[in-house]
């Protein structure tokens, strides 16, 4: 039985900051951000969006009634969740109106959470072939104003419907994963901003990729020539390129050209959204699939997942017949086209604006946020979520 990705949904907030404007404001050569780091626009979340709403918005248009009935497991990967106890998956389960006979959990290991979710989903479906699993990767990446990490911030979510006989990508069984305790990037519970040892994080990302790739080739008896494309976790789009470069000479000229072309296509969405942590690898896959007409059924795509701290995994998927029919290119084009630019000072004000942390209540203005699902405020220490279409408040 094939198991894998049946549908992919994506959401980013309706506001963005142009990286050239940010560079000019910070007295940095814009080429550093657009070429050296490889980012053009950074999604900026309004107060009315958090990890829960971003994920719900990524899934809300993707699921039909049959899916909602069949989903019996919601796995929410995030490193910027909103509650230390209640899982973000439970909120999304309600906001989307899913079958109550379901499990709903949150998974954390930095940017690796959604990959763990996919592998758990695969095992669940192997035992329960009729069920479907909703895997979410949703985050707001924050490093701080005028920090080295600032150019690699972002916000957004990817929703993956995992099922038997999937229409987009069948996930293959061979995979290699690796864990080592390192401090390359972390966020203590008292901080709403991440800490990063930038140089170490870049080195470890590549070291983890080398380890899992070398082991994978032996375990699966495959080589670079067997791949139509390799997608990477993209904290910024230059990062995956640095990792790809380390293995490119394993392929012949034609393979190198193919992998480089497809790498570029796999970065288009990420370049315009920024780092979305858990969803980044899957946004890259989505970008590749929605930007090319060259990939065909049977093509193998490699996936490198990296979650700082750190866990890395290399796994693969096979494209399914007519996979293009199951993508939502128009919806995603419309989402990008409808975004509005904010100035650097507007972005800075939004960055510094924070929800109360002293237990006081707040009501947020949700009419200016075009998203279907919004955070409407906090009352009695409870987040108040609204699905404007369902007209429900949680
Ligand atoms: N024109 C063109 N390129 C230029 C340039 C210019 N004028 N000026 C600089 N550059 C290039 C540099 O040569 C460099 O390229 P290479 O990496 O290819 O050498 C690139 O721009 C970046 O320059 P610096 O290394 O000087 O940049 P920095 O030290 O200020 O910050 C960073 C870069 C370390 C990635 C920083 O943004 C950061 O700390 N980000 C957060 C951590 C991160 O994303 N780590 C990635 C791996 S960890 C991970 O993947 C998990 C995760 O999601 C966080």
Q: What is the DSSP string of 141-158?
A: E---TTSGGGGG-EEEEE
Q: How far apart are alpha carbons 189 and 279 in whole angstroms? A: 21
Structure pTM?
0.98
| Among the listed residues 137, 56, 131, 132, the one whose alpha carbon sits nearest the alpha carbon of residue 91 | 56
Ligand 1 proximity of 111 Cβ (cutoff 6 Å): yes
Residue 282 CA to its chain's centroid (Å): 5
Cα end-to-end distance, the chain, whole Å? 38
Ligand 1 proximity of 278 Cβ (cutoff 6 Å): no
- Domain residues for the domain of 216 are 173-320
What's the pLDDT score for residue 392? 53
Same-domain status, 368 and 315: no
> Which residues are CB-contacts of 116 (< 8 A; sequence separation ≥ 6)?
75, 77, 107, 109, 311
Same-domain status, 222 and 146: no
Question: Which regions of 348-391 does DSSP assign to beta strands (E)?
Answer: 362-363, 373-379, 382-387
Same-domain status, 13 and 141: yes
Q: How far apart are alpha carbons 110 and 112 in whole angstroms? A: 6
The string of DSSP codes covering 307-354 is: ETTTEEEEEEEEEPTTGGGG--HHHHHHHHHT-EE--HHHHHHHHH--
What's the pLDDT score for residue 390? 75
The protein residue with its alpha carbon nearest to ligand 1, atom 32, reads 198
The protein residue with its alpha carbon nearest to ligand 1, atom 27, reads 148
37 alpha carbon to ligand 1 midpoint, in Å? 5
Same-domain status, 227 and 272: yes
Same-domain status, 19 and 85: yes
The protein residue with its alpha carbon nearest to ligand 1, atom 36, reads 149
Q: How many domains does the chain have?
A: 2
**Active-site positions?**
79, 111, 233
CB 171 within 8 A of CB 317: yes
* Continuous segment of H or E residues that includes residue 306: strand 300-307
Q: Pick from 31, 36, 204 the residue to mutate for probing ligand 1's pocket: most ligand atoms within 8 Å of its CB.
A: 36
What's the pLDDT score for residue 391? 56
Domain of 334: which CATH number?
3.40.47.10
User: Which one of 320, 340, 357 terminates a domain?
Assistant: 320
Q: Mean pLDDT per 10-residue run, the chain (394 residues)? A: 98 98 98 98 98 98 97 98 98 97 98 98 98 99 98 98 98 98 98 98 98 98 98 98 98 97 98 98 98 96 98 98 97 98 98 96 98 98 94 53
């Amino acid at each position: 039985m094939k198991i894998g990705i049946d549908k992919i949904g994506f959401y980013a907030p309706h506001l963005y900051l142009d990286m050239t404007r940010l560079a000019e404001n910070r007295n940095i050569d814009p080429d550093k951000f657009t070429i050296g780091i490889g980012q053009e626009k950074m999604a900026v979340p309004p107060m009315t969006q958090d990890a829960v709403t971003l994920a719900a918005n990524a899934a809300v248009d993707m699921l039909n009634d049959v899916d909602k009935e069949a989903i019996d497991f919601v796995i929410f990967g995030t490193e910027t969740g909103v509650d230390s106890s209640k899982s973000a998956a439970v909120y999304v389960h309600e906001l989307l109106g899913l079958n109550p006979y379901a499990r709903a959990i949150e998974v954390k290991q930095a940017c690796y959470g959604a990959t763990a979710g996919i592998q758990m989903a695969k095992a669940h479906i192997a035992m329960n072939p009729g069920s479907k699993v909703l895997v979410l990767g949703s985050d707001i990446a924050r490093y701080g104003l005028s920090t080295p990490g600032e150019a690699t911030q972002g916000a957004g979510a990817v929703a993956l419907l995992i099922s038997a006989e999937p229409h987009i990508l069948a996930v293959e069984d061979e995979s290699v994963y690796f864990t080592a305790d390192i401090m390359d990037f972390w966020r203590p519970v008292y901080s709403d901003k991440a800490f990063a040892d930038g140089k170490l994080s870049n080195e470890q990302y590549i070291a983890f990729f080398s380890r899992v790739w070398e082991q994978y080739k032996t375990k699966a008896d495959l080589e670079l020539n067997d791949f139509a494309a390799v997608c990477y976790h993209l904290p910024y789009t230059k990062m995956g390129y640095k990792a790809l470069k380390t293995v490119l000479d394993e392929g012949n000229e034609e393979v190198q050209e193919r992998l480089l072309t497809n790498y570029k296509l796999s970065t288009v969405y990420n370049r315009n959204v920024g780092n979305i942590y858990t969803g980044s690898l899957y946004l890259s896959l989505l970008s590749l699939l929605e930007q090319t007409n060259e990939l065909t059924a049977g093509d193998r795509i490699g996936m490198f997942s990296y979650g700082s701290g750190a866990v890395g995994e290399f796994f693969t998927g096979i494209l399914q017949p007519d996979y293009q029919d199951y993508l939502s290119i128009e919806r995603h084009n419309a989402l990008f086209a409808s975004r509005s630019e904010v100035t650097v000072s507007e972005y800075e004000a939004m960055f510094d604006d924070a929800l109360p942390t002293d237990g006081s209540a707040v009501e947020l203005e949700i009419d200016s946020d075009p998203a279907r699902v919004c955070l409407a405020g906090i009352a009695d220490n409870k987040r108040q979520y609204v699905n404007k279409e369902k007209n429900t408040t949680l």
